[in-house]
């Protein structure tokens, strides 16, 4: 069995903390510093290893989410994230990740105490990569294309697994060129971003191949629209994000059985239980 942490499992559980009014599932739940800290405290009590704080929604445009996320200024993103990051870090309550594509936001968050940068652009910003390197932070490089929408060239895959692996290797090369050490890099296949439901399912099945690239793997299937698309394909009504716990747990179970090192989720307590059982089966 792989080495376990103090919570009895080897796969980390990262709790989603969106301090935004418009995230696809939980927008508006934690828009004030007090509400954000209270939610972070609950995620920690439920078993989260990392609190992933995001101040700008990344939901893509398309049939599921309409126009997609609205642009947010750097100043507004900083206003949203820094109070909760600073408090969590100062009280040493948790390992904190900043979910951003902005180099300026990453720099400020790392100065405030975040130790991980979760970059859904896959290393598009040189400034972000340099900030991660300068602060010796861990860096998650998520696969994405364009703005993540399900349209046009974003979906022009040959073999989706091979293409994603190649593009993630290119993202790693960009990060390494800016000084990020290989052992600090995580890879995320980008479930739901510029990918159909079939693409997302294929990538979940192929996680052992993604692991072969030599970096830790983070998977974020929680409440994603691919779950609703699978339901529709089976002749069922598509569920709303708040009704996708069962599908999220199923995807987490697959990820753990295929060797994921961490999962990023909204429903931490239930996920921790699923991870423990999945790891018991895998061992």
Q: pLDDT digits over 174-190, tens only?
A: 999 999 999 999 999 99
User: Top-level CATH class of 12-282?
Assistant: alpha beta
Out of 224, 232, 269, 282, which one is annotated catalytic? 224
Cβ-proximal residues to 261 (8 Å cutoff; 6+ apart), any chain: 10, 11, 12, 186, 216, 217, 218
- Percentage of residues in the chain having pLDDT higher than 90: 81
> pLDDT at residue 60 above 90?
no
Report if pTM > 0.85: yes
Q: Is the pLDDT of residue 139 over 50?
A: yes
Count the neighbouring beta carbons within 10 Å of the beta carbon of residue 178: 18
The residue extents of the domains of the chain are 12-282
Burial annotation 231-257 (CB, 10 A radius, 16+ → b, else e): beeeeeeebebeebbebbbbbbbbbbe
Decide if pLDDT at 66 tops 50.
Answer: no
User: Residues 159, 164, 165, CA angle at the centre, nearest 5°?
Assistant: 100
pLDDT tens, 245-272? 999 999 999 999 999 999 999 999 999 9
264: annotated active-site residue: yes
For the chain, what percentages of helix, strand and coil (3-state, to nearest 5) are there? 45, 15, 40
CA distance 114 to 108: 9
Strand, helix or coil at 118? strand
Query: Which entry of 80, 264, 269, 282 is annotated as an active-site residue?
Result: 264
How deeply is 118 buried, as exposed, middle or buried, from its count of CB atoms within 10 A (0-12, 13-18, 19+)? buried
Which residues sit opposite 264 in a β-bridge? 14
Can you tell me which residue has the tokens 């980390």? 12
Detail the DSSP E strand segments found in 158-272: 185-188, 216-219, 262-265
Query: For residue range 229-245, what is the model confidence (pLDDT) as tens digits?
Result: 999 999 999 999 989 99
Chain segment 157-169, per-residue pLDDT in tens: 999 999 999 999 9
Tell whether the model's pLDDT for residue 70 goes beyond 80. Answer: no
């Amino acid at each position: 069995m792989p080495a376990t942490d103090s919570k009895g499992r080897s796969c980390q559980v990262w709790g989603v903390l969106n301090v935004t009014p418009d995230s696809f599932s939980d927008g508006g739940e934690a828009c004030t510093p007090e509400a954000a800290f209270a939610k972070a405290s609950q995620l920690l009590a439920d078993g989260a290893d990392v609190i992933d704080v995001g101040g700008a929604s990344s939901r893509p445009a398309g049939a599921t989410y309409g126009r997609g996320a609205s642009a947010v200024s750097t100043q507004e993103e900083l206003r949203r994230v820094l109070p909760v990051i600073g408090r969590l870090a100062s009280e040493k309550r948790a390992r904190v990740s900043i979910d951003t594509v902005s180099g300026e936001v990453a720099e400020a968050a790392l100065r405030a105490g975040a130790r991980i940068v979760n970059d859904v652009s896959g290393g598009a910003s040189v400034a972000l990569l340099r900030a991660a390197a300068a602060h010796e932070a861990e860096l998650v490089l998520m696969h994405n294309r364009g703005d993540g929408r399900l349209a046009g060239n974003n979906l022009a895959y040959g073999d989706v697994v091979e293409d994603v692996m190649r593009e993630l290797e290119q993202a790693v090369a960009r990060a390494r060129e800016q000084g990020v050490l290989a052992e600090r890099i995580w890879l995320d296949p980008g479930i739901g971003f510029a990918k159909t439901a079939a693409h997302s399912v294929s990538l979940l099945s192929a996680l052992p191949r993604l692991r072969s690239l030599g970096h830790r793997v983070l998977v974020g299937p929680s409440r994603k629209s691919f779950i609703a698309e699978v339901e529709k394909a089976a002749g069922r009504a598509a569920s709303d994000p708040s009704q996708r716990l069962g599908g999220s747990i199923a995807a987490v179970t697959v990820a753990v059985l295929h060797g994921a090192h961490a999962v990023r989720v909204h429903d931490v307590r239930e996920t921790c239980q699923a991870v423990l059982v999945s790891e018991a089966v895998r061992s």
